[in-house]
Amino acid sequence: MRTILFVVLDGYADWEGAPLAAALMGELEEVGEYNVKTVSLTKEPIKSMGGFTVLPDYAIEEAPEDFAGLILIGGTSWRKEASQRVMELVEKAMEREVVVGAICDATVFLSKNGLLNNIEHTGNFLENLKEIGGENYSNEAGYLQQQAVRSGQVITANGTAFLEFGKEVLQALEAAPEEKIEEWYGFFKQGFHDFMKTNS
């Protein structure tokens, strides 16, 4: 089993990671064997923006050493100083060149840690990346006005792009044949009835 760690902090945006997690756990046919685990600052219960209470599988310091992907789910805590502890996991992921995904305000976290300076990327607003990133962000030219952007093993997306984000992560992981990933994306993006009209 290949472990994919989803970092969920207090106030996380529950809609941003759920479709991808479900696909990895078997909703997407022909997906490889993946094990989705949640990580937070502690193992204490956290509450999502939508009011769901989650008991994380791991605290940061307990996270497994061997993982195939690190997914940073957006929310209201990425600008808080306590979130800096997540850099321990991000640095491990970067060193091992595993897939790293950041959506919504988690892209701001990457900007303030200087991790967007050498790659094309996106996020909710360029101004947020510049403001929060400060002197650690120097790649305005690399910002693309797209739903999701993949640059090597790093995927960034805005908060409305959970399907595009999921597709890019699945592709980066080579989690399933390309046509199956496109089918998964099209099914949810088009909606059941429109998808069936064009794919039956």
Catalytic residue list: 104
Q: Output the six-digit token pair for 18.
A: 């759920």
C-alpha 107: how far from chain center: 9
> Could you tell me if residue 29 is left (phi over 0), alpha (psi between -120 and 50 degrees) or otherwise beta?
beta
Residue with tokens 């002197």: 135
Q: Which two tokens stand for residue 162?
A: 């959970």
Q: Name the CA dihedral angle for 59, 64, 65, 69, rounded to a multiple of 10 degrees.
A: -90
Measure the CA–CA gap between 108 and 123, rounded to whole angstroms.
Answer: 8
Determine whether 171 is exposed, middle or buried from the number of CB atoms within 10 Å of its CB (0-12, 13-18, 19+). Answer: middle
Strands (DSSP E) contained in the chain are: 2-7, 34-40, 46-47, 53-54, 58-59, 69-72, 99-103, 148-151, 154-157
